[in-house]
Amino acid sequence: MPLSSHVLHSTPLDARSLLNMGVTEDFRRTFFRTTAKDNVMFILLWHVLHLILRVIYLAQEVLHAIQSYLITNGFVTTYQDLNLERVRYLAIVIDSDEARQISEVIQLLEWLSAIGVKKVCLYDREGVLKRSQGVIMERFSSAYLSNEDSKIDPILSKTQLKIEFEFVSISDGKEAVAKAANVLYNKYYLDGDTEKPFFTEADLSEALENLEPDPDLLLIYGPARCHLGFPAWRIRYTEIVHMGQLKHKKYGLILKAIHKYTKVKQNYGS
């Protein structure tokens, strides 16, 4: 920059700006070399930045573990009294690879049952949970848990209530909408009269044949905060919370997420 100001001193305006550009172009070329991807310094700095990010995530994990321990063991009482009336329908999205660990899934559901959640929608992209429906339903067919389980897992010493399940996968998402579109097409175009029909969202809702309400809260168990294709029509105003990976699930954090949800005030656009 000092070089260009010295040059600027004695040249007319047009040549001045051209020279200025030339100087900065040289500077840029020397400093940035070719493209960013080829620049070793940038690549090194990128790795440093991502290393710092990993350390931050690790620190967050540790903090969450401590927080969950404090909540679960009653040291923090803020989350003990949940207004569960507000959580009429809870949805869980699990990454399909993680969903193959059925024992982990069942433990999660046992915790939810202990908290008092009555209706749960289970989603995974590939339908792993749908295929394990039998195993899961069998586990929850009895209304109260046996003494054996409470010795292993202190959380389950609370009474477990009956829990209703819905199993959803990717075929209930976009494909279901295509099916509903065909229902409307067959009904109003092929079999209907010649007048152009007027569809409303209610018509499409009806054609989707989904009798369940929209989930209030959606907990994601997976590497990223991403709903992985949960049926679009049903998550308009659903609060979406990322809980981390299924194998690192924590009871206290579920309480915290539900508690936070019950405090949320939605305007629904207005």
- Which residue ranges make up the site for another protein (CB under 8 A)? 1, 32, 35-37, 39, 42-43, 45-46, 49-50, 53-54, 57, 125-126, 173-175, 177-182, 184-186, 188-190, 196-197, 199-201, 204, 223-230, 232-233, 235-242, 264, 266, 268-270
**Gap between the Cα atoms of 134 and 233, Å rounded:** 27
Three-state secondary structure call for residue 43: helix
The least distance separating another protein from the CB of residue 189, rounded to whole angstroms, comes to: 5
Whose Cβ is closer to another protein: residue 103's or residue 270's?
270
* CA 11 from centroid of its chain's CA atoms: 60
Whose Cβ is closer to another protein: residue 142's or residue 182's?
182
The least distance separating another protein from the CB of residue 229, rounded to whole angstroms, comes to: 4
**Gap between the Cα atoms of 39 and 34, Å rounded:** 7
Whose Cβ is closer to another protein: residue 118's or residue 179's?
179
Three-state secondary structure call for residue 258: helix
Whose Cβ is closer to another protein: residue 3's or residue 53's?
53
Strand spans (E) along the chain: 90-94, 119-123, 164-168, 217-221, 239-242
The least distance separating another protein from the CB of residue 231, rounded to whole angstroms, comes to: 9
The least distance separating another protein from the CB of residue 70, rounded to whole angstroms, comes to: 22
Cα distances from 219 to residues 10, 156, 174, 225, in angstroms, run 67, 20, 21, 9
The least distance separating another protein from the CB of residue 25, rounded to whole angstroms, comes to: 13
